[in-house]
Amino acid sequence: MNKAELVSAIAKRADVPASTVDSVLTGLQDELVEAITRGEKVAVSGLLTVERTQRSARTGRNPQTGESIDIPAANTVKVTAGSNLKKAASNVPV
């Protein structure tokens, strides 16, 4: 599902205009980006948690040449599924 499909589905379910849903999703995106930039953790109870984490420097290997390379430390984003998402995923047969 892409953003346009998500906007349409939410608009239909909530019975609001798609433009309103699009504005809300854009606002959510902007707030998540700003919170991660500030180093804050964002938790939407039952849905997900988003936080910035640090990955330490390490030595890797180029798979084509086998040569060792140094991978610098970096910040990354960690997204953790909330209880409602985990429950939904566990109810789907494998």
List average pLDDT for each run of 10 residues in the chain, which is 94 residues long: 96 97 96 96 95 96 95 97 94 88
Q: In which domain, by residue range, is 12 found? A: 1-38
Is 27 found in the same domain as 46?
A: no
Q: Are 61 and 67 in contact (CB under 8 A)?
A: yes
Taking the C-alpha atoms of residue 25 and residue 11, their distance in angstroms, rounded to an integer, is 11
pTM: 0.78
Number of independent structural domains in the chain? 2
Would residue 94 count as lying in a domain?
no
Kindly state whether residue 21 falls inside one of the protein's structural domains. Answer: yes
What is the structure's pLDDT at 94? Answer: 84
Whole-number pLDDT of residue 77:
97
